[in-house]
Structures are given as structure tokens and as C-alpha cells.
A and B are shown apart, each in its own frame.
Chain A
Amino acid sequence: MYGKTSSVGISLEKIRKLKNNSNFTPELLEAVERFDNGSMTPEERISFENQLKDIDFKALVEDIRMTLLSIETQALKERLDEFHKEIPENRPVEKSTTKVRFLSFSKIAIAAGIIIALGIFWMFSGSSNEKLFNQHFRPDPGLPTTMSSSDSFVFYDAMVNYKQGDYKTAISKWQKLAVKTPENDTINYFLGVAYLADKNADKAIPFLNKTIHNTESVFLEDAHYYLGMAYLKSDRKEEAIREFKKSGSEKSNDLLKDLQDGVSSYK
């Protein structure tokens, strides 16, 4: 009937003892408090320590301490929830130790700022076509880098580099993909615009030409536009005009206008 005194028995017996225990007195409670905060006289202390030699007494003292710890812990827990509400909304800019997958707005803003500043600088140098190029050229904004699964990982990983303005790294990563899928219009397009953004119009042209081979491509309009820009940068004005006309996009039309009336005044 009471035969079960093995492993579980220890705890059950303990509970039973604690429940029946009428030894939890105000005096004991205060003795534990005073012992723990060191406010006992040496004599009291020695006497208390002697009592602790009794296993049952010690268990009771430990249990009181456990109760005190529970109170403090729970009180702290509840206070943490209050603290949490007071965490400032504007998170400090932390330099992150883990991989940055998403571009922060500030980085884009800084990159844009640099591009604009350099653009203004270039406007005062170079040939008229070069001027026009620098005045109009904005790198393609790229694709949103969503956390996507495995195979397109390299592509989006390079996209992050591209958006950060690290065109060389982006190009080297996309080049590897282009070897596997040379006819992929997306990769060809971004390789083209990345080379162009990296000021290498000669390398950009073949990739953009490949892109426009696919007349179904969603990048067709933009590919014609950037191809036009690449020609413009290379001082191949006639070919540039041809591409801008094919593109028909708003940006292309603006450029055509500038090329037709503006350039004459440049010269």
C-alpha cells in the first residue's frame, strides 16, 4: 500500500511533509531572512547553522528560500513587461554581426546620394554624349530581394551586392549563373545594367543585346533603354537613338528630346 518509496517517493514524501508542516512560523521566516542578509549576531548564526544539520529543518529552510526566490523572480518578470513598453521605438543603428539580407533605407539613401553627387560632378566633364549619359543615367533599381529558396539564392545574393553599389561582386556572381543559363534574359539584363553602372559600356552592350533577342522579355523596354544609354556613353549616337525609339519608354522619350534639341545647343 505504501510500498512505493522508490524514485518518485522522494518528492511525494517531501510534499506531504511540507503540507503537514506547522513549523513554518513567523519566527522561522524572519530567521531565514536575517540569516540570508547577514544581520544575525554571531551567536544566533552559530545556533542557526547547528539547527541546519537537521535534514528536515534544512529542507524547510530551503523551501522557504525557494518561496522567496519565486516571489522575486515573478515580480521581476512582471516588471520586465513594464520595461519592455519603454524600449525606445527608434532602434539604434547597430552594426550587425550576421548577414545583411535586406538593404536598409539609409543605405539606399546614401548610395543614391553618392550617385547623384558623382552624377553632378560628371556633368561638368566629358563629351556632350557622355554629359547627357551622366545627366540621365540611373542604375536599374534591381529586384526586391526576398528570402527565397535555394536555387535562386545566388541570384538574389548578387542582387544585394548590386543594390549596395558593389557592381563588380554582383557581376562575378551573375557571370557564374550566366555560364549555366546563357539565354536567361533576367541574368543577361542585370549583367548588362551592372556593367553599365560600373561604367563599362562596352561589356554591357553584348548582354543587353542578348536580352532584347528575347522579344517576350519583361525587361525588353528597359533593355532597349539601357542599351541606348550604353551606346550614348560610347558616343554611338545613331545607335543610341535607334534603341531609345525601340524602347518607347518615358525615360527614352525624354532622352530623345534632349538628343534632338538639347544636344545641338551643347555643340
Chain B
Amino acid sequence: MKKDVIVSLVCLAGAIFLFYSLNWIDDERAQAFPRVVISIIGVLSLLLLVQTLALKSVKQAAAGDPFPWARFMIMFGLIVVYFAIMERIGFYLSAFLFFIAVTTLFGGAAKRATKAVSRVGLPLVFTGILYLLFSVLLKVQTPRGMLF
């Protein structure tokens, strides 16, 4: 219930901001289509708000899982670092390191030797197949770096 009220208010605020930002578009004719779309978003946000408040008595509040902030932020950070190094060290090397980083950070320390080998082996095989199939065979362009 509360979540939907917030959603509708955020959508409404977004629609108002976007409507205002239409003034930054030079040609009025180019504003026409987005103006209609933004106006509809505004109306729909209001309808969602009205519906949420009207259904207050009949809609049961569903208790969802809390937002997994820690995991989300770690993965988000890893992906940002992956993007940052991709154009410096190349697609395949960065992908290999990203794969290892994800499995190590989320999977915990590898206590057994076989686990440690698979931690490195799987990313190696995965990026190796990608390299052979797409770069060698199909000549697909990827960000190039130091090694590939």
C-alpha cells in the first residue's frame, strides 16, 4: 500500500520534471509526441494513486522481502569496476577477472583445492570458449586491451 503510494508520487514527480524539461527541446514539433506521452504518464500516476488509496480497505499489505542492499551494492560496484578496466585490459581478461571476483566475493573462500581450481578453471574455460567462438571464428569486435 505505502509502496504504491510512493511509486505513484515518484512517477508523478518524474512526469512533472520531464514535462518541464521539454522546454529544453528547440523545435516545438519535436516536443509534441513526448509531451503527449509524459502527460499520459502523469494521468496514470494520479490514477494509480487514487486506485491505491481507494483500495486501501480491500487490498492486503503484502510483506515483501527487504531490498538486498549489501549484495546489490557489491555487485553494482563490481560491474562498474569491470566496465572501468574493460577498455584498458581488454574484454576477455576483464571478463575473466570479473568472473573470479564475483564467485570469490559472493561464494566465500575456497577451502578445498578442487573448489579453488574450479574457481579459476570455469572462468578460464568460459572466456576461452567466448574468445575462440567469437573472436577467432566469427571475428567479432570486442574492446581490446593489453593481451587480447
- A and B held together in a complex: no
Chain A interfacial positions (CB closer than 8 Å to B): none
Chain B interfacial positions (CB closer than 8 Å to A): none
